[in-house]
Amino acid sequence: MAAAPGPAVDAGRVIADLRELQRRTGDAQGAQRLCWGAVWRQAREFLAELLGEIGVEPERDEAGNLWASLDEDREPAIAVGSHVDSVPDGGWLDGALGVMAAVGVLRAWAEAGETPARPLTLVDWADEEGARFGRSLFGSSAFAGTLEPDQVRALTDPDGRTLPEALADNDVDLDRVLDCGARRQGLGAYLELHIEQGPVMEAEGMAVAAVAGCAGVERHRFRFDGQASHAGTTPMDRRRDAGLAAADAALRIEGIAVRNHGVATTGALVLRPGIATAVAGEAELLVDLRNPDPDSLATMLAEALSSGQIEADKRDCELSTELVWRIDPIPFDEQLVALAREAASDAGGRDDPLTSGALHDAAEVARVLPAAMVFVPSIGGISHAKEEDTAEADLAAGIETFGALVNRVVAQT
Amino acid sequence: MAAAPGPAVDAGRVIADLRELQRRTGDAQGAQRLCWGAVWRQAREFLAELLGEIGVEPERDEAGNLWASLDEDREPAIAVGSHVDSVPDGGWLDGALGVMAAVGVLRAWAEAGETPARPLTLVDWADEEGARFGRSLFGSSAFAGTLEPDQVRALTDPDGRTLPEALADNDVDLDRVLDCGARRQGLGAYLELHIEQGPVMEAEGMAVAAVAGCAGVERHRFRFDGQASHAGTTPMDRRRDAGLAAADAALRIEGIAVRNHGVATTGALVLRPGIATAVAGEAELLVDLRNPDPDSLATMLAEALSSGQIEADKRDCELSTELVWRIDPIPFDEQLVALAREAASDAGGRDDPLTSGALHDAAEVARVLPAAMVFVPSIGGISHAKEEDTAEADLAAGIETFGALVNRVVAQT
């Protein structure tokens, strides 16, 4: 299929902007754009500089999201963006790629002196990572209306400061963040470019792929209570070893993920007292289950709970479980995904869309607007680390494909 | 067999002394006689008071061990004792029982106005627990000559103070501690009463038992190195999950202990990064293996190492292992164990001797002197906790049996 008309994005310039962002806000340990802090604000100042060069003035909404419109008087607009915040010691591309590609899209139209058939709006969502207070997708969930201020009011950072205090430092009032949802009515679609943060595309040799949606997540705390006892004096048949109950449960849960074509992770396990000379009396295991299919996800959870109970019973331990967080699978807009597939396919990328196992701002936005995403590969599947990287040719292919997708969406509607 | 002549120990008075010790040095959280600290010194002051009442003056050796002799001019003497130091928030009986029973033995002879055929010496070993600096059996290993000062010189407590500094507070010079070994030549035997710290005797309904020796210990650190990766984006078949490798190894090691009639504990497992959203890239598992039989212990270690390697290979992880600490099985003196069995059997206790899975000062002393121990049960097998307790009737039986054993040893030689 022929590409839609519209200016091409200068991928080399976007990559140069990304490198400059990292030079200004990163250090030897990686990206340091922790949301609500000074370095994050510096990143936004650089973003404002870039937008200023094309005569666009950014503005902030009530949740701290940053918006910049090329032609704000017409509706509905197409929003393009991601987030500039990062985890501590993070990677240079996670989030920043999508924001700088969105700058590239606006710049392409501005410098071509053309007016798109639909106005374009850049958005930089606030606190996607939740790295400081543990609440991810802050700005985009405020926009979607799913954030509940009372549920985050008491969150504190490791220094004991509360989320409302950190928000106030940035002139954001927690009780007004949902007001930003008023911007929904001016928008008709949302598009986001992001790194895959996994190893699939690299293994397939694919430079670019459309994304069909985000997997659902069930995250639960499994607590096994047995009996702490002396490593030397407690015979094997008199132990109530909570650590081994958790180990057995973790291994069963791995099998559950494989059988149900999902993923399951048990990466956090804490034993108490946690010493060489005592049988563990308590074990706390965090169980993270993901599946793009809601029924399969429900099956995985039921099987995981049942396996935990079986292993607890086997070792005379008590099992208690607690929901930590859950989200339903979120499919993206069929029509937009189809356009993203065409754009990816035209660039020699993956024919089939991927499902994202990670969450993105687009998952929140998709609740209230048609949305879709484009992925580029991650070298070694590594993300949230200073080693995070993507081959320059793949970055360029992704940025150009994203620009071509925006042109298709502009032309379609 | 008829009991040997000699005065009987007043068990009620020993139990009253134990309660008074706990009243003076414990609190609502348990025993607080942490070695080298003020409360531990208070415990020793109380011990000196009790000894003073029978006209015995205690003295300290170069390692901080306390000695008190009824009749010091004759040799060889029989040493009786244990340790008054405790872990923080510890139990009232661990160590203190053996020391107070030894006071009871000396008091019985002193108050009877009799002179034993062999002189009796009470010993209170310094820092059995190693709770502050991590080095157990300090005083008894100095006595046995197995302590290496240079290996403990750099140990620090949680406040950053070094062991030599804490020793200096107690007028102990680390470079002179081995000099206390000169006392070995005046001694012919060592006897110790202790709580079992495990559930076996309670389950059998036995009030008292002889101890045949201490199990050997192999304690090793197993480190699995895989690859940390994103919980959502890493397919199950592309993971290198170090946490699951460690979990599988821990379960195999459990089976190894059962098959080899020993015990194995994997109570310390640390995952990194240790968060719900990442596959564990590193797992550190402490493996503690115990067996009274040296060949079986060696088999357990070989099988554990091999299982760790198999599980690491299965998940494409690297395994590295490191010796943390080891000690050979230590059999007690055959003749003394036989006398202890007779004394236990006479008291309606266990006919067969137990093997101790925990280490005791007697294990160090047994390297250089004939030694044996007597155990009383622990309610629920609980020790190193404020709940540590033994039924009063069992305590009395143990104290009386210990006194009878001393009388047998005195009469025998």
Q: Which of residues 293-332 of B touch A (CB under 8 A)?
A: 324
Residue B59 class from Cβ within 10 Å (0-12 exposed, 13-18 middle, 19+ buried)?
exposed
Contacts of A199 in chain B (CB under 8 A): 229, 233-235, 238
3-state SS record for B343-397 = HHHHCCCCCCCEEECCCCHHHHHCCCCCEEEEEECCHHHCCCCCCCCCCHHHHHH
What are the distances in angstroms from CA B276 to CA A26, A99, A216, A385, B126? Answer: 26, 27, 15, 16, 44
Q: Determine the Cα–Cα distance for residues B193 and A170; give it in Å rounded to an integer.
A: 67
Q: Encode pLDDT of A356-383 as tens digits.
A: 999 999 999 999 999 999 999 999 998 8
Q: Encode pLDDT of A333-359 as tens digits.
A: 999 999 999 999 999 999 899 999 999
What does the block give as tokens for A148?
A: 């509940």
pLDDT for position B75? 75
What does the block give as tokens for A381?
A: 């599947």
Check residue B326 and give left, alpha or beta (phi > 0: left; psi -120 to 50: alpha). beta
Q: Determine the Cα–Cα distance for residues A91 and A383; give it in Å rounded to an integer.
A: 6
CB-CB under 8 Å, B232 with A199: no
Percent of chain A with pLDDT over 70: 99
Q: Determine the Cα–Cα distance for residues B359 and B361; give it in Å rounded to an integer.
A: 7
**Cβ proximity of B7 and B58 under 8 Å:** no
What are the distances in angstroms from CA B49 to CA A175, B42, B101? Answer: 68, 11, 15
Q: Residue A313: CA atoms inside 13 Å, Cβ hemisphere, count?
A: 6
What does the block give as tokens for A330?
A: 């979120």
pLDDT for position A135? 86
3-state secondary structure of B87: coil
* Backbone φ, ψ for residue A354 (5° rounding): -90, 160
Map tokens 């958790």 to a residue. A246
Protein fold of A216-327: Alpha-Beta Plaits (3.30.70)
Q: Which of residues 337-376 of B touch A (CB under 8 A)?
A: 356-359
CB-CB under 8 Å, A265 with B235: no
A154 touches chain B (CB under 8 A): no
Q: Determine the Cα–Cα distance for residues B119 and B183; give it in Å rounded to an integer.
A: 14
pTM above 0.90, yes or no: no
For helices B242-259 and B294-314, angle between their N-to-C axes, nearest 10 degrees:
150
Contacts of A359 in chain B (CB under 8 A): 232
Cα nearest neighbour of B377 on chain A? A233
What does the block give as tokens for A233?
A: 């004096």
Confidence of residue A2 (pLDDT cuts 50, 70, 90): low
Nearest to B281 by CA among B231, B324, B232: B231
Select from A203, A232, A263 the Cβ nearest to the Cβ of B232: A263
Contacts of A243 in chain B (CB under 8 A): 250, 266-267, 269
Select from A203, A233, A247 the Cβ nearest to the Cβ of B357: A233
Assess whether pLDDT exceeds 90 at residue A66.
Answer: yes
Protein fold of B218-326: Alpha-Beta Plaits (3.30.70)
Name the pairing type of β-strands A216-225 and A263-272. unpaired
Residue A379 class from Cβ within 10 Å (0-12 exposed, 13-18 middle, 19+ buried)?
middle
What does the block give as tokens for A186?
A: 């001016």
Q: Determine the Cα–Cα distance for residues B6 and B113; give it in Å rounded to an integer.
A: 11
Q: Which of residues 175-204 of A touch B (CB under 8 A)?
A: 196-200, 203
Assess whether pLDDT exceeds 80 at residue A72.
Answer: no
A88 touches chain B (CB under 8 A): no
Q: Encode pLDDT of A188-229 as tens digits.
A: 999 999 999 999 999 999 999 999 999 999 999 999 999 988
Residue burial A69-87, b: 16+ Cβ < 10 Å; e: rest:
bbbeeeebbbbbbbbbbbb
Our CA-based measurement puts residue B93 at a distance from the nearest CA of chain A, in whole angstroms, of 15
CB-CB under 8 Å, B199 with A235: yes
Question: Counting one residue from A and one from B, how many pairs have CB atoms under 8 Å apart?
Answer: 198
Q: Determine the Cα–Cα distance for residues B121 and B78; give it in Å rounded to an integer.
A: 6
pLDDT for position B395? 98
Select from B254, B268, B359 the Cβ nearest to the Cβ of A274: B268
Cα nearest neighbour of A379 on chain B? B229
Residue B2 class from Cβ within 10 Å (0-12 exposed, 13-18 middle, 19+ buried)?
exposed
CB-CB under 8 Å, B234 with A263: yes
The residue-averaged pLDDT of A80-108 equals 97
What does the block give as tokens for B158?
A: 């949680």
Amino acid, res. B100? M
Contacts of B270 in chain A (CB under 8 A): 274
3-state SS record for B225-248 = ECECEECCCCCHHHCECHHHHHHH
Q: Encode pLDDT of B51-85 as tens digits.
A: 999 999 999 999 999 999 987 677 789 999 999 99
Amino acid, res. A276? A
Assess whether pLDDT exceeds 90 at residue A75.
Answer: no
Our CA-based measurement puts residue A2 at a distance from the nearest CA of chain B, in whole angstroms, of 32
Name the pairing type of β-strands A187-195 and A77-82. parallel
Residue B45 class from Cβ within 10 Å (0-12 exposed, 13-18 middle, 19+ buried)?
exposed
Write out the H or E segment, with its range, that includes residue A336: helix A334-346
Write out the H or E segment, with its range, that includes residue B305: helix B294-314
What does the block give as tokens for B250?
A: 């821990």
A379 touches chain B (CB under 8 A): no
Assess whether pLDDT exceeds 70 at residue A1.
Answer: no
pLDDT for position B357? 92
3-state SS record for B282-300 = EEEEEEEEEECCHHHHHHH
CB-CB under 8 Å, A254 with B236: yes
**Cβ proximity of A367 and A326 under 8 Å:** no
The residue-averaged pLDDT of A19-35 equals 96
What does the block give as tokens for B37?
A: 């600290």
Nearest to A70 by CA among A25, A108, A28, A22: A108
Cα nearest neighbour of A380 on chain B? B229
CB-CB under 8 Å, B286 with A267: no
Nearest to B189 by CA among B372, B374, B6, B59: B372
Cα nearest neighbour of A238 on chain B? B199
* Beta bridge partners of residue A217, listed in sequence order: A290, A327
Rg of chain A's alpha carbons, rounded to an integer?
23
A290 touches chain B (CB under 8 A): yes
Write out the H or E segment, with its range, that includes residue A342: helix A334-346
CB-CB under 8 Å, A290 with B275: no
Give the CATH class of A11-214+329-412: alpha beta
The interface predicted TM-score (ipTM) is: 0.86
Contacts of A280 in chain B (CB under 8 A): 267
Nearest to B68 by CA among B115, B41, B103: B103
Assess whether pLDDT exceeds 90 at residue A74.
Answer: no
Instruction: List, in order, residues 6 or more apart from A284 with CB less than 8 Å away.
Output: A221, A222, A223, A224, A246, A268, A269, A270
Write out the H or E segment, with its range, that includes residue A403: helix A392-412
Residue burial B76-96, b: 16+ Cβ < 10 Å; e: rest:
bbbbbbbbbbbbbbbbbbbbb
Q: Determine the Cα–Cα distance for residues A93 and A45; give it in Å rounded to an integer.
A: 18
How many other CB atoms are there within 10 angstroms of residue B269's CB atom?
25
Write out the H or E segment, with its range, that includes residue A193: strand A187-195
A55 touches chain B (CB under 8 A): no
Instruction: List, in order, residues 6 or more apart from B99 with CB less than 8 Å away.
Output: B47, B81, B82, B83, B84, B122, B124
pLDDT for position B72? 65
Rg of chain B's alpha carbons, rounded to an integer?
23
3-state secondary structure of B319: strand
B5 touches chain A (CB under 8 A): no
CB-CB under 8 Å, B247 with A248: yes
**Cβ proximity of A156 and A133 under 8 Å:** yes
Q: Which of residues 201-260 of B touch A (CB under 8 A)?
A: 203, 215, 217, 219, 229-238, 241, 243-244, 246-248, 250-251, 254, 257-258
A164 touches chain B (CB under 8 A): no
For helices A242-259 and B242-259, angle between their N-to-C axes, nearest 10 degrees:
130
Our CA-based measurement puts residue B275 at a distance from the nearest CA of chain A, in whole angstroms, of 5
Q: Determine the Cα–Cα distance for residues B254 and B258; give it in Å rounded to an integer.
A: 7
**Cβ proximity of B189 and B405 under 8 Å:** no
pLDDT for position B74? 75
**Cβ proximity of B339 and B405 under 8 Å:** yes
Domain boundaries, chain A: 11-214+329-412, 216-327
pLDDT for position B84? 98
CB-CB under 8 Å, B269 with A268: no
Nearest to A239 by CA among A283, A269, A270: A283
Write out the H or E segment, with its range, that includes residue B15: helix B11-25
Q: Determine the Cα–Cα distance for residues B251 and B254; give it in Å rounded to an integer.
A: 5
Q: Determine the Cα–Cα distance for residues A169 and A404; give it in Å rounded to an integer.
A: 39
What are the distances in angstroms from CA A174 to CA A66, A67, A180, A313? Answer: 16, 19, 11, 45
Map tokens 């310039």 to a residue. A13
pLDDT for position A413? 67
Q: Encode pLDDT of B325-358 as tens digits.
A: 888 999 999 999 999 999 999 999 998 999 999 9
Do B11-214+329-412 and B218-326 have matching folds? no
Q: Which of residues 382-411 of A touch B (CB under 8 A)?
A: 382-384
Cα nearest neighbour of B358 on chain A? A232
Cα nearest neighbour of B245 on chain A? A251
Our CA-based measurement puts residue B381 at a distance from the nearest CA of chain A, in whole angstroms, of 7
Select from B200, B235, B382 the Cβ nearest to the Cβ of A263: B235
Amino acid, res. A123? V
What does the block give as tokens for A311?
A: 């292993």
Q: Determine the Cα–Cα distance for residues A349 and A124; give it in Å rounded to an integer.
A: 26
A286 touches chain B (CB under 8 A): yes
Map tokens 């994203």 to a residue. A402
pLDDT below 70 — which residues of chain B?
1-2, 72, 413
3-state secondary structure of B31: strand
pLDDT for position B267? 95
Contacts of A248 in chain B (CB under 8 A): 247, 251
Map tokens 């002197």 to a residue. B369
